[in-house]
A and B are shown apart, each in its own frame.
Chain A
Amino acid sequence: MTSMPGYLDTLAALPLARQGSFWFPPQASSVAAGTDLLYDIILWLCVLFFVGICGTTILFVARYRKRPGHKEQKTSTHNLILEVTWSVVPLIMLMVVFGVSMYWYLEMINPPRDEKVYDITVRGQKWSWSFKYEGDPFESQMVTPRLHVIKDQAYRLVMDSPDVIHSMYLPAFRVKQDCVPGRYNKLWFRPTMAGEFPLYCTEYCGDDHSNMITTVVVHEDPNAWRDWIIKEGDLKNQPPVQRGQIIWERNCKICHTIDGKKGTGPSFKGIWGKEEEMSDGSRVIVDEAYVRESLNEPGKRIVKGYPNSMTPFKFQDYEYEGIYAFLKSLKDK
């Protein structure tokens, strides 16, 4: 089971995260090689111009440096042919670059039409990712914290956010798309290399923006893919306390500790049944009703001394049960 804050160690340990060239992460999607080639073309164009400009500058400084016996000479103050040439030639080069860029961009935004494209629903919210799959064995009841896909299969991701803007970035696939609240953004890709690759949030979303990281797992074998989704997504068959603990690890841990340490939100240690003072001065006993309200409408009543920065959650009944059970279990510790 991948728990959220452990991912940094996981990433460092992944053999593939260290692969790729000096410039690039691994090329793990169908567009990566093409756009990297374009990057290289632009890079060499830049090197050409940069060396030309700086080389000429250095040459002129060396040759025409002020020294005894050297005097400046009048030269022409303009030269139409020269100026037109050095405007038009780069322009033509850039238009070629744009053309190649357009070709790859169209590849990136248009999913294939002649084959099955699998839909995955992506939800980015403060500060975790969740993925729901089309055609999984439990009719989309399964939500995984890592993105599981099958090699060489085309996927279309439908993305949204319930709170602020996030952006899903898969460096190994060279794709990125914002999750904007109030609209569905779409993205497609075809993984071409098995392995586990980082998945980042790249739109600043608050305190734990830099901890909103997970991975994409590319499976060779469809059965392995299915097994993993069940393993990570099937919470129904877990005992309630463990179910609650898994939900906490994926969604709550980043702000709510269980060891009494203050985080972005109050620690869960011993919180169940406790009377808390709210920011408006009222007092509330932490029970099923308050926990449920805090999950669905977190801004309604905030514990005094904490910011109103929690994202709303909607769960299934068996998940709420797990959360209550887990919180109760922390009371006894």
Chain B
Amino acid sequence: MAGGVVEKPEGAYGGSTRNYLNETRGIKNWIITLDHKRIAMMYLVAVTLALLLGGFFAVALRTVLWDGAVRDPNDLILGMRVEQMYNKYFTLHGAVMVFMFIIPGIPASLGNFILPMQLGTKDLALPRINLMSLYLYWIGATLFVGVLAFGGLDTGWTLYPPYSLDRQTSIPLILALSAVFILGFSSILTGLNFIVTMHRLRPPGMGMYDMPLFLWALYATSLIQVLATPVIGLTLALAMVEHMFHIGIFLPQYGGDPVLFQHFFWFYSHPAVYIMILPAMGVQSELIATFSRKHVFGYKAIGWSSIAIAAIGFIVWGHHMFVAGQSPAAGLIFSFLTFFVAIPSAIKVFNWVATMYRGSIELKTPMLYGLAFMYLFGIGGLTGLFLASIANNVHLHDTYFVIAHFHMVMVGSTLNAFFGGVHYWWPKMTGRMYNETLAKIACGLVFLGFNLAFMPQFVAGTRGMPRRYANYADEFTTFHQISTVGAYVLGAGVLLQVIYLTYSWFKGPRAPKNPWGAASLEWQADSPPDFHNFTKPVIVMAAYDYENWEYDPNTGGYELRKEVVESGRSLATAHH
């Protein structure tokens, strides 16, 4: 049977409440654990803290922008000029969110927990490497805290030279470059681990096409992490060498070219955008199928479109340099290629909609996030067309239109899917149920906040509001103030989540094994799972065959049908 299954008699631990959370106790046993579930939970706590830190800066910078219309450039707040304060806030907001939350977010927390369980196996293929990824994340995160301690940084998360490298106080810069470098290795190791695990630890009877689509998405993500992340590592190493030893690479005064940095930077950071969105799409596939109780429509199309997005993502980086002085021919080619990203993205959306056709749609909290994803990704994806069109991009480049677009994709979609995924797998991860009413209120606040914060920015941007501005012309005041209100609403929604989820972890009602009737293998484990994941042999079945499960009013969740348990086989075989 599938690797690592340990059979235990019922009630062996006195009431069978023994699980990975209480198998051993003490901080030391968490820090040196090789258990993917514990590592995942530590990641989940860490990325949530990063989210809150990045969110704090977001709310802070939106507060500065409340009355940015007319202000004396030399006004001081807390002994600092408003502009300097704002520049640090937006830099730290971007850097913390990108490198510490969105990139590791879904793969390292949810992926780490769920991936081995969806394969019906005990752990990732390389548990020690997994722990090392976590340590590297911690080291990188600590260095970032160091950046804050040494006065912060005002380079923008994009770190464009000459501005970023040509400076007097270099400690925060060197700390930030090292942090991103080290976080990159954490990301590479996680990706590598996932790829190896999906190739080597699939149970007998599960081909690549039988894996849940979340895993296809993680596979595509991992490919990008392994192939693209070294480029940013090299770029930052070059930048550091140049900054410390004045070797000409990116700085014109030493004979370098600043645009070269942009090429290197975006050769990683554009694919990185898909590191952020692909896992979210994977979560989305699970949510829509489960809560519609329907086999996902167009399985292969969704799976391969993930790979296609990853592949196309590597050849569109030049659209970040349309006005930087790259040749017009290159601009046209990059514009042309960029349009192709739209096709696999659209295919996914159409397939999700088609999946819902004639289903039985249950509007639980995770599904509400799934529906919100459809809307936010719809806007985020479609507004990408304006930017792909090079003639419009020249006007919209570096305006609020771009900010609104990528927040709709990176944040609207990814953060929504992250929340959806956390709520979906929360009963499995913690063994507890959260308060459904509070969860729906929080979901509503997040959705409302998003729209208030970012919809006005599309208009402001088209009307010519440049990004990274502490001050702005009076005509933009209304747009900015609506955005700021939106940021507060969004922040309230996120805080509410943190509160009721934390509460439920300790005091929430016990969760059944499979509260949603989902069919992928992780739901055959107990909630929370045993230290060894599965206490009974896993019955390998296709990820979307929901008829194997039936509702049991006694447990409040779904149980495998008797005939499935007895035969050890799925009732149906999948036809994708």
B-binding residues in A (CB < 8 A): 5, 8-9, 11-12, 17-18, 20, 22-25, 31, 34-35, 38-39, 42-43, 45-46, 49-50, 53-54, 56-57, 60-61, 64-66, 70-79, 82-83, 86-87, 90-91, 94-95, 97-98, 100-106, 108-109, 163-165, 167, 169, 171-172, 174-178, 180-183, 185, 198, 200-211, 213, 254, 257, 261-264, 279, 302, 307-309
A164 cross-chain contacts in B, Cβ below 8 A: 162-163, 166
The residue of chain A having its C-beta at the shortest distance from the C-beta of B370 within the complex is: A57
The residue of chain A having its C-beta at the shortest distance from the C-beta of B351 within the complex is: A83
B30-38, B66-74, B214-222 - the one binding chain A: B66-74
Check B292 for interface membership: any CB of A closer than 8 A.
yes
- Could you tell me the distance between the alpha carbons of A183 and B262 in the complex, rounded to whole angstroms? 15
A-binding residues in B (CB < 8 A): 68-70, 72-74, 81, 83-84, 86-87, 154, 156, 160, 162-163, 166-169, 252, 256-259, 292-301, 323-325, 328, 331-332, 335-336, 339, 342-343, 346-347, 349-351, 353-354, 356-363, 371, 374-375, 378-379, 382-383, 385-386, 388-392, 394-395, 397-399, 459, 462-464, 466-475, 546, 574-576
Chosen A-B contacts, 16 in total, with CB atoms closer than 8 Å, are: A20-B463, A49-B382, A53-B349, A60-B361, A77-B298, A82-B354, A83-B351, A90-B342, A106-B328, A165-B160, A165-B163, A204-B468, A206-B87, A207-B83, A209-B469, A210-B470
- Contact assessment for A64 and B459 in the assembled complex, using a CB-CB cutoff below 8 Å: no
A182-B163 CB under 8 A given contacts A46-B385, A207-B81: no
Q: A266 to chain B: closest CB distance in Å?
A: 12
Residue from B70, B351, B374, B464 in contact with A171 in the complex, judged by beta carbons closer than 8 Å: B464
- Contact assessment for A97 and B339 in the assembled complex, using a CB-CB cutoff below 8 Å: yes
B294 cross-chain contacts in A, Cβ below 8 A: 72, 75
Residue from A24, A94, A185 in contact with B325 in the complex, judged by beta carbons closer than 8 Å: A185
- Contact assessment for B347 and A83 in the assembled complex, using a CB-CB cutoff below 8 Å: yes
The residue of chain A having its C-beta at the shortest distance from the C-beta of B386 within the complex is: A42
B467 cross-chain contacts in A, Cβ below 8 A: 202, 204
- Contact assessment for A38 and B389 in the assembled complex, using a CB-CB cutoff below 8 Å: yes
Q: A129 to chain B: closest CB distance in Å?
A: 14
Among B83, B472, B546, the most chain A Cβ lie within 10 Å of the Cβ of B83
- Contact assessment for B464 and A25 in the assembled complex, using a CB-CB cutoff below 8 Å: yes
The residue of chain B having its C-beta at the shortest distance from the C-beta of A110 within the complex is: B328
Interface majority SS (helix, strand, loop, mixed), chain A: mixed
- Contact assessment for A50 and B84 in the assembled complex, using a CB-CB cutoff below 8 Å: no
- Contact assessment for A105 and B391 in the assembled complex, using a CB-CB cutoff below 8 Å: yes
Q: A23 to chain B: closest CB distance in Å?
A: 5
Q: B210 to chain A: closest CB distance in Å?
A: 13
A87-B357 CB under 8 A given contacts A163-B162, A183-B257, A201-B466: no
A165-B353 CB under 8 A given contacts A101-B335, A174-B395: no
- Contact assessment for A46 and B295 in the assembled complex, using a CB-CB cutoff below 8 Å: no
B86 cross-chain contacts in A, Cβ below 8 A: 210
A257 cross-chain contacts in B, Cβ below 8 A: 74
- Contact assessment for B360 and A64 in the assembled complex, using a CB-CB cutoff below 8 Å: yes
- Contact assessment for B73 and A86 in the assembled complex, using a CB-CB cutoff below 8 Å: no
- Contact assessment for A42 and B392 in the assembled complex, using a CB-CB cutoff below 8 Å: yes
Q: A199 to chain B: closest CB distance in Å?
A: 10
B395 cross-chain contacts in A, Cβ below 8 A: 35, 171, 174-176
Q: A157 to chain B: closest CB distance in Å?
A: 13
B72 cross-chain contacts in A, Cβ below 8 A: 5
- Contact assessment for A24 and B462 in the assembled complex, using a CB-CB cutoff below 8 Å: yes
- Contact assessment for B331 and A90 in the assembled complex, using a CB-CB cutoff below 8 Å: no
A60-B356, A101-B392 given; name 5 further pairs at CB < 8 Å: A65-B362, A72-B293, A97-B339, A104-B391, A210-B472
